[in-house]
């Protein structure tokens, strides 16, 4: 399927309902970072207000959402293109996964990219805390790239480096009024699904987040991920992300 066949009518007729809980991972910092810079709660509150005033305005469609939900739609210009979002002044995308383990795999991969693009940066001496949370969403205007008529083009949807095809699809999807894209994770060893939400309106405004705390340890043999509750662990060795051609020159010893 070439980009010329992604007409508004064709995409609209292929729309499916996508709903449920989607997982996203953030660093466990939040307001703890401002605690270190202040002596009292009043000072911390004042500093939080100053920081908030310097940030871009929250999009109108996301005003009723929790900050964890509206943040991906808030910041522009976008520094570097990702799978479904172009660099520059482009609409926001809420990248998420159907399983927390998939979201952790995605997080680990892009954290490794940072380290390998900065070869003189040492591995963290201590394990790093991350927070995984599940957000509810619902839309009747979704595209499922793992199902017909899109599944036959899996090679383009799962291209590890070149996002040209996916970006063109996202442009066409927005033009057709689609609000979410379900697609196979390239980084999850089990290839479970990710969900890219294109419109903050599909997120449930008032919701209780299901949360998990993960501890990630980076080192020369790979990455270990441990979830405290429910207790489980994952291991990502040097070969886990071998399908990405960039990994061939990764220097693990540092």
Q: What is the pLDDT of residues 186-216, one digit of tens each?
A: 999 999 999 999 999 999 998 889 999 999 9
How far apart (Å, rounded) are the C-alpha atoms in residues 250 and 113? 9
Mean pLDDT (the chain, rounded): 91
> What is the predicted pLDDT for the residue at 40?
78
DSSP secondary structure letter of residue 145: T
Q: For residue 209, what are the CA distances in angstroms to 21, 182, 196, 215?
A: 9, 21, 18, 19
> What is the predicted pLDDT for the residue at 207?
86
> What is the predicted pLDDT for the residue at 34?
63
How far apart (Å, rounded) are the C-alpha atoms in residues 50 and 213? 29
> What is the predicted pLDDT for the residue at 221?
96
Residue among 178, 184, 185 at smallest CA distance from 201: 178
Average pLDDT estimate for 166-187: 97
> What is the predicted pLDDT for the residue at 3?
47
pTM score of the predicted model: 0.90
How far apart, in Å, do the first and last CA atoms of the chain sit? 44
Contact status, residue 59 vs residue 92, Cβ threshold 8 Å: yes
Rounded to 5 degrees, what angle do the CA atoms 168, 202, 71 make? 80
> What is the predicted pLDDT for the residue at 198?
98
Residue among 17, 254, 250 at smallest CA distance from 116: 250
Q: Is the confidence at residue 48, as pLDDT, over 60?
A: yes
Contact status, residue 99 vs residue 192, Cβ threshold 8 Å: yes
How far apart (Å, rounded) are the C-alpha atoms in residues 142 and 169? 13
Q: Is the confidence at residue 28, as pLDDT, over 90?
A: no
Taking residue 250's Cβ as centre, other Cβ atoms within 10 Å add up to 16
Average pLDDT estimate for 138-144: 98
Domain spans of the chain, in order of start: 3-29+93-249
> What is the predicted pLDDT for the residue at 1?
44
Token representation of residue 47:
């500093």
Tens digits of per-residue pLDDT, 228-243? Answer: 888 999 999 999 999 9
């Amino acid at each position: 399927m070439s980009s010329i066949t992604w007409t508004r009518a064709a995409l609209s007729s292929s729309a499916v309902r996508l709903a449920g809980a989607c997982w996203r991972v953030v660093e466990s910092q939040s307001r703890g970072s401002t605690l270190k810079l202040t002596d009292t709660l009043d000072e911390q509150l004042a500093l939080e207000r100053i920081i908030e005033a310097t940030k871009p305005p929250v999009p109108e469609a996301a005003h009723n959402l929790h900050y964890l939900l509206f943040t991906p739609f808030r910041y522009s210009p976008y520094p570097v293109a990702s799978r479904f979002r172009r660099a520059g002044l482009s609409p926001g995308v809420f990248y998420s996964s159907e399983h927390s383990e998939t979201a952790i795999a995605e997080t680990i991969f892009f954290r490794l990219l940072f380290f390998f693009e900065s070869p003189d940066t040492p591995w963290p001496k201590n394990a790093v805390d991350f927070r995984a949370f599940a957000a509810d969403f619902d839309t009747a205007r979704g595209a499922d790239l793992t199902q017909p008529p899109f599944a036959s083009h899996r090679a383009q949807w799962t291209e590890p480096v070149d996002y040209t095809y996916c970006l063109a699809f996202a442009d066409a999807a927005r033009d057709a009024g689609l609000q979410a894209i379900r697609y196979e994770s390239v980084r999850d060893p089990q290839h479970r699904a990710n969900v890219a939400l294109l419109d903050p309106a599909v997120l449930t405004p008032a919701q209780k987040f299901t949360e998990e705390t993960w501890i990630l340890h980076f080192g020369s043999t790979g990455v270990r991920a441990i979830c405290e509750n429910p207790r489980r662990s994952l291991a990502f060795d040097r070969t886990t992300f071998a399908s990405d051609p960039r990994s061939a020159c990764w220097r693990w010893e540092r």
